[in-house]
A and B are shown apart, each in its own frame.
Chain A
Amino acid sequence: EVQLVESGGGLVQPGRSLRLSCAASGFTFDDYAMHWVRQAPGKGLEWVSGISWNSGSIGYADSVKGRFTISRDNAKNSLYLQMNSLRAEDTALYYCAKDIGIEGLRLTYFDYWGQGTLVTVSS
């Protein structure tokens, strides 16, 4: 059974940093691209970032480019999101999502999602 478990969320002040993690199990992690998608309270879904199986291809939404860094450790079956210079508008539930393919930055879809970890940016 595919499982994606996010962690690392919490309350953080504007301008500070936070690192999210996603532990994957139930599939061969390094055979698939992975993504982060967020959802602000009461709002819709926003794709944040994606990474190919070998970290060779990475993409970011304009809203986070230059502030967030996605990475993965295939030996640990884990996906990460380093979030710097956090803003109030980054407040959201952050989901980890599995891609159906290996490259994952186009012409694809997300077949499994975690339950999310909540990030609240507030002073």
Chain B
Amino acid sequence: DIQMTQSPSSLSASVGDRVTITCRASQSISSYLNWYQQKPGKAPKLLIYAASSLQSGVPSRFSGSGSGTDFTLTISSLQPEDFATYYCQQSYSTRFTFGPGTKVDIK
């Protein structure tokens, strides 16, 4: 199975900060990488698909980039509602795998 890692595992940031989360795949997955946001007690929400495509309704401060094995999720100016856990997911192989998550909390 393709293994996904994320860094950092957690970070503290302030409103207005630029935040970058990294996701790495154990083998090339082309651009088949998705990002989800999950708030406590809620279901995951799709943010970015195919590495860099913004899901409808998601604010433009979220962006994704990368291909092959290395990917990033960037929040250009962190807002109060962005404090959450972020997961990457590969869909290159039939057995989808998620990264372990990055928790973004308030500094």
Contacts and interface: CB of A to CB of B under 8 A. Distances in A.
A95 interface: yes
6 contacts: A37-B44, A44-B87, A45-B101, A47-B98, A113-B44, A113-B45
Given A47-B95, A105-B94, A95 B89 contact: no
A47 B93 CA distance: 12
Contacts of A95: 43-44
Task: Choose among B45, B96, B99, B101 the residue with the greatest number of A CB atoms under 10 Å from its CB.
Answer: B96
Chain B interface size, under 10 / 10 to 19 / 20 to 34 / 35 or more: 20 to 34
B34 A109 contact: yes
Interface of A: 35, 37, 44-47, 50, 59, 61-62, 95, 100, 105-111, 113-116
A109 B44 contact: no
Given A109-B34, A109-B89, A47 B97 contact: yes
A115 B45 CA distance: 11
